[in-house]
Amino acid sequence: MSQLSELLAHIEAKADQLDKRLKSGARLPLSALRPNPQQPRKRLEGIEDLAQSIREKGLLQPLLVRPLGEGRYEIIAGERRYRAAVAAGLSEVPAVVLNVSPEEARALVLVENLKREDLNPYEETVALLDLLALRQGVSREEAARLLQSLLQMEKRRTGLSHDVVGQREAVEDVFRTAARMDWRSFVQHRLPLLRLPDDLRAALEEGSISYSAALELRKVKAEKARKALLEEARAGLSVHELRQRVRALSAKTEQPQLDLQKRFKALFPRFKALPPERQQEVLQHLEALLNRYG
């Protein structure tokens, strides 16, 4: 695949040329369109408000689509407009048809969505990883490992091989083109979102909690307690209040463990003072108990 910026410039040039030709009013039936199955946005809000606007003023901005053959088209950009047009009862919509490969379409979908202000942190994280994965021809998980590996090598301050320098340039190309942050900051602050429990990830995707709230809730290991706090966060508990609740819960959970450590520490001098044969006897009893209860 060519440099991402060059690829996108090539696609945009195609779009500009076609847009000039299609301003006369080219339209496609809604029945011929299908949403993109790899749409990175999990939630499309404001459909009904947009549908009402379309009923009053019509659909002013065309959809961007690519041909699939046999009169069918896949939406590259404009799925929200498509759904609103369906809700408004339209039978056809204005569209710009781009003859691009699935790879080019995927890159354009990801970049277009990354430009949106309402993309939540988890969606943005996944979209950036998918764009890097597409650029490098690897999986999302491999793209995440590549970023972590690059950061570790930079921290070691050792000489970087030609291949590693090339990988870093590819990463910088993707983030320069589509991201609002440096890739190093992304590794430190966004990759941890991939390790969120399923309930927190779902809440982030639906937009019911903030990025900061998700990071606080991740600290709660007990599932029952975390789910209870999650419901409070959804109901409007502030991040400041949530942070205090998480700290209090963590202190309560850690206290029995600290008490147990103190008891073991106090017992050790007595154990050490025993004759060797008694020490062996105590250890055997301890191992037997651990085997019984562990």
Full-model pTM:
0.66
pLDDT at 204: 84
Kindly report the three-state secondary structure assignment for every residue of the chain.
CCCHHHHHHHHHHHHHHHHHHHCCCCEEEHHHEECCCCCCCCCCCCHHHHHHHHHHHCCCCCEEEEEEECCEEEEEECHHHHHHHHHHCCCEEEEEECCCCHHHHHHHHHHHHHCCCCCCHHHHHHHHHHHHHHHHCCCHHHHHHHHHHHHHHHHHCCCCCHHHHHHHHHHHHHHHHHCCCCHHHHHHHCHHHHHCCHHHHHHHHHCCCCHHHHHHHCCCCCHHHHHHHHHHHHCCCCHHHHHHHHHHHHHHHHHHHHHHHHHHHHHHHHHHHCCHHHHHHHHHHHHHHHHHHC
The pLDDT of residue 173 = 87
pLDDT digits (tens, 9 = 90+) for 192-209: 888 888 889 888 878 888
Predicted pLDDT of residue 258:
54
Of the CATH numbers 1.10.1530.10, 3.90.1530.30, 3.40.50.10300, 3.40.50.2000, which one belongs to the domain with range 4-110?
A: 3.90.1530.30
Domain positions in the chain:
4-110, 120-195
